[in-house]
Amino acid sequence: MADAPQTTCCSVPDAATIKPCAACGAPVCKNCRAFVNGMILCSNCRGQVESAVAAEQPGALGLPFAIAGGVIAAIVSGAVWAAIAIYGNAEIGFIAIGVGFLAGWGVFLGAGKKRGVQLQVVAVACAVLGLLLGKYFIVANAIRDYIAQQVGAKGGEISLFHSGIMKIFFENIGSFLSPWDALWVFLALGAAWRVPQPSGLHVS
């Protein structure tokens, strides 16, 4: 025999204000209802939403793994971006968006698929690292080739991490960036920010 439909929502229901729960349809009055993103929910559905929101939050132990995952993804994706630009002889800006996206996923997976503003900040920081490394490798390779031509050496004989190359890059980084670079960076950071974005459920 099927259970009888619920007709009351609490011990002292206010019949004049009873409305159906947006999730399960059970009756709920002003004395016991909750609002989730403006929708009326019963106490049972509210508890389920609160549990889901709590479950997606990263724990303190997950943060180091999130950082590690984001850093690894940033380094790898930044290196791939640079390799495509160097060996393909074309700096494809939209690949930078992939750097941000992969950095975000590195954080997300490293945190055990948790979400939260804290993880979004970590993802953006890791994306910045990946973009900076990628741009550095691209510019450093060009500087190395130029220096090699001037001194009559082979480019491979000069390290990409030569102190002189690093000094030139960081002292003149602004001159190596174009308006298009600013656009790609903006889109890349946006991609990193969105990956571990929380569900956005607000209970009141």
d(CA 67, CA 81): 21
Q: Is the domain of 111 the same as that of 48?
A: no
Q: Is the domain of 23 the same as that of 85?
A: no
CA dihedral over 170, 171, 172, 174, signed as positive or negative: positive
Residue 101: pLDDT band (50, 70, 90) is: very high
Q: Is the domain of 155 the same as that of 88?
A: yes
Report the pLDDT value the prediction gives residue 87, as an integer from 0 to 100. 84
Q: What is the pLDDT of residues 173-198, one digit of tens each?
A: 888 777 877 888 899 999 999 999 88
DSSP single-letter state for residue 175: G
Residue 60: pLDDT band (50, 70, 90) is: low
d(CA 142, CA 165): 10
- Residue 1 belongs to a domain: no
d(CA 89, CA 151): 23
> Which residues, including other chains, have CB under 8 Å from residue 76's CB and lie 6 or more apart?
102
- Residue 35 belongs to a domain: yes
Please report, to the nearest 10 degrees, the dihedral formed by the alpha carbons of residues 121, 123, 125, 131 taken in order: -150
Report the pLDDT value the prediction gives residue 91, as an integer from 0 to 100. 65
Q: What is the pLDDT of residues 103-135, one digit of tens each?
A: 999 999 999 888 888 999 999 999 999 999 999
Total of domains in the chain: 2
* Mean confidence (pLDDT) of the chain: 83
CB 44 within 8 A of CB 35: no
Instruction: Tell me if residue 34 falls in helix, strand or coil.
Output: strand
Candidate ranges 41-45, 61-65, 111-115; pick with highest mean pLDDT: 111-115
Range of the domain at 86: 62-194
Number of alpha carbons in the 13 Å side-chain half-sphere of residue 53: 14
Residue 95: pLDDT band (50, 70, 90) is: confident
Residue 71: pLDDT band (50, 70, 90) is: very high
Q: Is the domain of 39 the same as that of 138?
A: no
Q: Which of 64-68, 69-73, 85-89 has the lowest mean pLDDT?
A: 85-89
Q: Which of 132-146, 155-169, 177-191 has the lowest mean pLDDT?
A: 155-169
Q: Is the domain of 101 the same as that of 177?
A: yes
Q: Is the domain of 29 the same as that of 116?
A: no
Q: Is the domain of 23 the same as that of 103?
A: no
Q: Is the domain of 22 the same as that of 88?
A: no
Q: Is the domain of 39 the same as that of 75?
A: no
Q: What is the mean pLDDT of residues 146-170?
A: 76
d(CA 46, CA 49): 5
110: amino acid identity, one letter: G
Instruction: Kindly tell me if the per-residue pLDDT of 48 is higher than 80.
Output: yes
pTM across the whole model: 0.74
d(CA 65, CA 127): 16
